[in-house]
C-alpha cells in the first residue's frame, strides 16, 4: 500500500497530493518531502489549510510602548489591557512582549484570564482583574498569585468589599485591591459617597491593601468638557480621603483616548488597550493630542489571496440580493475571507462598495479594490476592473491585503471598522481563532527575572509571608 501511494504521488506537485502524503504520513507512513512552486507575484496560501493569515508584528508593540513611555514619562506606570486573549492576538505571545517592553502591570477582565496571562509571562508583573469578583476558587494558580501579591482585584461597592474581605480571610492572604469610582459611566464602581466609605474601610482592614483608585471616563474620545468634569469628580473623592490612601497607591483614569488627550489624565498609571496595538488616535477628537496618528505602528496585518477571477458584462449583478450591479464590463475577484473569519458586514446598505482591500496586481504593483455585493460566510467579491488589462486568470494567486499597516491606506483597520459601523475593539475581537496567526519579530521578548517587584507588590508579598 505504501509503495503504491509513493509511486502515485511522488512526482505530483499539487497541494492536494502533498497534503494527502502528509495525512498518510501522520498515520505512520513516511514519504519524502515535496515542494510546490509558488506564484511568481505573491505567496500562495495553502489551499488545504489557510485561506488567510494574521501577521502580528511584535516589534510594533515594542515601538508603541516606547512612544507611550515618552508620552507619560518615567514617573507614570504603564498598564496595557490584554482582555479577550489580548484582543484575539494571543495573550501567550503578547503578554511577555508587553512586559519586556516596560509594562508594570497588565489588566484583564476575569480570573480565568488572569491565570492565562500570569502563565504567559511567568508572573513577572501584577495582574489587575476588572470584573466584580465575589468568590475566589482555591485553584493552585490563583493561590500562588495571591501569595505573591500579584493578583489585584477591583472593589465595586460595599457588598463587593465584604465579599473580598471574606475570601481573603478564608484563604489566609492579604489582597491588593483597586477601588473603582463611578464618575458618570454608571456601569461598575461605587458612587462618590460610597467610595469614600470604602477607602476608609480598606484602610482599617487587616486583609485588604489599597493599591489603586481609578475611574472610567464615558466620553474621553470626543467630549473634552465632560471628561474634564468626570476627572474633577474623581479628584474630589481622592483629595477628600488622601490621608487614608497609601502613598504607593496607583491612581489611574486614562484609557488610550485620555492618555493622548492631555497629561493631566496620566496621574500615576495609565490603563490602555488600543494604543499598544497601534490604534486609537484616528478616532480621538482633540485639537493637539500628545500622540499623533502616525507615531504608533499597527501591530496587525491580515492577508489572503485571490482564488478566482472572472469577467462579467455590464448590468450583471453580483451576490445575494443583487446589491451591486456592474455599470460596465467588469473584472470580479473572489477572496476566501468572510464574516465567519471576522470580516465585517456593513450595517448600512449605503456602505456597499465603500469597504476597500489592498491587492497586489499581476504586474506586482499595490492597488486597492472595493468590496462589492453581499459579504458571505467564507468569501467576498471585489471589483478589479481597470487595475490590470490582461487575462482575468492572471489574478489567481495574487495577494489580497484585507487589513494593512499603512495608516493612510483605505484598508487601515480603524477605517474598515468605521465604514462597517463597528468600533476598532469589536473588529479586532471578532477575528476568528481559526485564522492562522504568524508572528514577526526582530528579537525575543526579555523579562528580567521571574518576578519584577513593583511598589504595589512588595507590601502584599511581605504581608502574605508574615501571615503564612
Residues 273 and 252 in one domain: yes
Q: What is the pLDDT of residue 29?
A: 34
Q: What is the pLDDT of residue 19?
A: 37
Question: Cα(246)–Cα(177) distance, rounded to whole angstroms?
Answer: 12
- Here the cell at position 89 is 492576538
CA distances from 341 to 335, 338, 356, 419, 436 (A): 12, 5, 17, 18, 11
Average confidence (pLDDT) over 48-73: 93
42 part of a folded domain = no
Residues 347 and 391 in one domain: yes
Residues 276 and 420 in one domain: no
pLDDT band at 50 (very low <50, low <70, confident <90, very high): confident
Residues 391 and 308 in one domain: yes
4 part of a folded domain = no
Residues 310 and 401 in one domain: yes
Q: Report the interhelical angle of 2-9 vs 15-26 (nearest 10°).
A: 160
Residues 281 and 314 in one domain: no
Which of 297, 317, 350 terminates a domain? The answer is 297
Residues 143 and 291 in one domain: yes
pLDDT band at 441 (very low <50, low <70, confident <90, very high): confident
Which of 297, 318, 352 terminates a domain? The answer is 297
* Extended strands (E) in 36-174: 52-57, 77-80, 106-108, 127-129, 151-155
Q: What is the pLDDT of residue 352?
A: 65
44 part of a folded domain = no
Residues 269 and 328 in one domain: no
Question: Cα(3)–Cα(5) distance, rounded to whole angstroms?
Answer: 5
175 part of a folded domain = yes
Q: What is the pLDDT of residue 456?
A: 35
Question: Cα(146)–Cα(169) distance, rounded to whole angstroms?
Answer: 12
CA distances from 384 to 290, 313, 436 (A): 40, 14, 26
* Count of the separate structural domains present in the chain: 2
Confirm if 345 and 332 have CB atoms less than 8 A apart. no
Residue bearing cell 492565562:
116
For residue 361, give its domain range.
300-440
Strand order in the sheet with 399-403: 308-312, 330-335, 380-383, 366-372, 356-360, 399-403, 300-305, 52-57, 436-440
pLDDT band at 84 (very low <50, low <70, confident <90, very high): very high
Average pLDDT, the chain: 87
CA distances from 167 to 19, 67, 205, 212, 246 (A): 53, 40, 13, 19, 22
The CATH number given to whatever domain includes residue 343 is 2.40.37.10
pTM reported for the whole predicted model = 0.84
74 part of a folded domain = yes
pLDDT > 70 in the chain, percent? 82
Q: What is the pLDDT of residue 442?
A: 66
Characterize the bridge pairing of strands 151-155 and 127-129. parallel
Residues 273 and 410 in one domain: no
Residues 323 and 351 in one domain: yes
Question: Cα(468)–Cα(460) distance, rounded to whole angstroms?
Answer: 12
Residues 344 and 268 in one domain: no
Question: Cα(305)–Cα(397) distance, rounded to whole angstroms?
Answer: 6
Question: Cα(88)–Cα(430) distance, rounded to whole angstroms?
Answer: 8
Collapsing DSSP to helix, strand or coil, 259 comes out as: helix
Nearest to 59 by CA among 304, 402, 255, 298: 298
Q: What is the pLDDT of residue 48?
A: 54
The CATH number given to whatever domain includes residue 122 is 3.20.20.10
pLDDT band at 351 (very low <50, low <70, confident <90, very high): low
| CB atoms closer than 10 angstroms to residue 401 | 19
pLDDT band at 346 (very low <50, low <70, confident <90, very high): confident
Which of 297, 313, 338 terminates a domain? The answer is 297
Q: What is the pLDDT of residue 215?
A: 98
Question: Cα(434)–Cα(214) distance, rounded to whole angstroms?
Answer: 36
Q: Report the interhelical angle of 58-72 vs 91-100 (nearest 10°).
A: 40
Question: Cα(155)–Cα(162) distance, rounded to whole angstroms?
Answer: 9
pLDDT tens per residue across span 293-340: 999 999 999 999 999 999 999 999 999 999 899 999 999 999 999 999
| Residues forming beta bridges with residue 358, ordered by sequence position | 368, 401
Q: Is 40 exposed, middle or buried (0-12, 13-18, 19+ CB in 10 A)?
A: exposed
Residue bearing cell 503564612:
468
46 part of a folded domain = no
Question: Cα(50)–Cα(220) distance, rounded to whole angstroms?
Answer: 39
Residue bearing cell 495577494:
399
Confirm if 447 and 119 have CB atoms less than 8 A apart. no
Nearest to 164 by CA among 140, 202, 133, 195: 133
CA distances from 15 to 22, 257, 306, 307, 397 (A): 10, 47, 16, 14, 13
pLDDT band at 354 (very low <50, low <70, confident <90, very high): confident
Cβ-Cβ contacts under 8 Å for 362 (sequence gap 6 or more) = 41, 388, 390, 394, 395, 398
Residues 132 and 233 in one domain: yes
pLDDT tens per residue across span 395-405: 999 999 999 99
Confirm if 323 and 76 have CB atoms less than 8 A apart. no
> Which of 110 and 23 is assigned the larger pLDDT?
110
8 part of a folded domain = no
238 has pLDDT over 70: yes
Q: What is the pLDDT of residue 348?
A: 67
* Cα–chain center distance at 369: 26
CA distances from 76 to 69, 253, 292 (A): 8, 12, 20
383 part of a folded domain = yes
103 has pLDDT over 90: yes
SS (H, E, C) 45-74: CCCCCCCEEEEEEHHHHHHHHHHHHHHHCC
Amino acid at each position: 500500500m505504501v509503495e503504491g501511494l509513493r509511486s502515485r504521488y511522488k512526482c505530483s506537485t499539487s497541494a492536494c497530493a502533498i497534503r494527502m502524503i502528509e495525512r498518510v504520513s501522520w498515520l505512520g507512513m513516511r514519504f519524502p518531502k515535496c515542494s510546490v512552486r509558488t506564484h511568481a507575484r505573491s505567496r500562495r496560501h495553502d489551499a488545504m489549510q489557510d485561506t488567510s493569515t494574521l501577521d502580528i508584528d511584535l516589534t510594533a508593540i515594542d515601538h508603541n510602548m516606547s512612544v507611550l513611555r515618552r508620552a507619560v514619562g518615567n514617573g507614570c506606570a504603564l498598564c496595557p489591557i490584554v482582555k479577550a486573549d489580548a484582543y484575539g492576538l494571543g495573550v501567550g505571545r503578547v503578554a511577555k512582549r508587553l512586559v519586556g517592553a516596560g509594562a508594570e502591570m497588565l489588566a484583564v477582565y476575569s480570573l480565568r484570564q488572569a491565570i492565562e496571562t500570569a502563565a504567559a509571562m511567568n508572573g513577572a508583573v501584577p495582574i489587575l482583574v476588572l470584573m466584580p469578583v465575589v468568590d475566589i476558587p482555591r485553584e493552585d494558580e490563583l493561590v500562588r498569585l495571591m501569595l505573591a501579591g500579584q493578583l489585584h482585584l477591583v472593589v465595586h461597592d460595599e457588598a463587593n468589599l465584604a465579599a473580598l474581605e471574606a475570601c481573603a480571610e478564608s484563604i489566609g492572604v492579604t489582597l491588593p485591591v483597586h477601588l473603582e469610582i463611578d464618575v458618570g459611566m454608571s456601569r461598575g464602581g461605587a458612587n462618590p459617597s460610597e467610595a469614600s466609605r470604602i477607602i476608609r474601610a480598606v484602610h482599617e482592614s487587616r486583609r485588604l491593601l489599597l493599591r489603586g483608585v481609578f475611574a472610567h471616563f464615558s466620553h474621553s474620545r470626543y467630549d473634552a468638557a465632560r471628561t474634564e468634569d468626570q476627572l474633577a469628580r474623581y479628584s474630589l473623592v481622592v483629595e477628600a480621603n488622601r490621608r487614608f490612601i497609601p502613598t504607593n497607591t496607583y491612581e489611574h483614569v486614562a484609557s488610550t483616548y485620555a492618555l493622548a488627550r492631555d497629561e493631566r489624565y496620566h496621574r500615576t498609571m495609565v490603563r490602555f488597550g488600543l494604543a499598544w496595538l497601534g490604534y486609537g488616535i484616528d478616532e480621538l477628537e482633540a485639537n493637539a493630542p500628545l500622540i499623533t496618528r502616525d507615531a504608533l505602528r499597527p501591530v496587525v496585518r491580515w492577508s489572503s489571496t485571490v482564488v478566482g477571477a472572472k469577467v462579467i458584462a455590464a448590468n450583471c449583478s453580483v451576490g445575494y440580493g443583487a446589491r451591486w450591479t456592474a455599470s460596465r464590463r467588469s473584472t470580479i475577484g473572489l477572496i476566501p475571507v468572510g464574516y465567519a473569519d471576522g470580516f465585517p458586514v456593513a450595517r448600512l446598505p449605503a456602505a456597499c462598495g465603500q469597504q476597500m482591500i489592498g491587492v497586489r496586481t499581476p504586474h506586482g504593483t499595490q492597488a486597492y479594490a472595493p468590496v462589492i455585493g453581499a459579504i458571505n460566510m467564507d468569501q467576498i467579491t471585489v471589483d478589479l476592473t481597470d487595475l490590470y488589462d490582461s487575462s482575468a486568470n492572471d489574478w489567481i494567486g495574487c495577494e489580497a491585503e484585507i487589513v494593512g499597516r499603512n495608516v493612510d491606506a483605505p484598508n487601515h483597520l480603524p477605517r474598515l471598522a468605521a465604514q462597517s459601523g463597528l468600533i476598532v475593539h469589536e473588529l479586532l475581537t471578532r477575528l476568528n481563532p481559526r485564522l492562522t496567526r504568524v508572528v514577526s519579530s526582530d528579537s525575543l521578548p526579555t523579562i528580567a527575572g521571574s518576578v519584577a517587584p513593583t511598589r504595589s507588590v512588595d507590601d502584599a508579598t511581605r504581608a502574605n509571608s508574615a501571615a503564612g
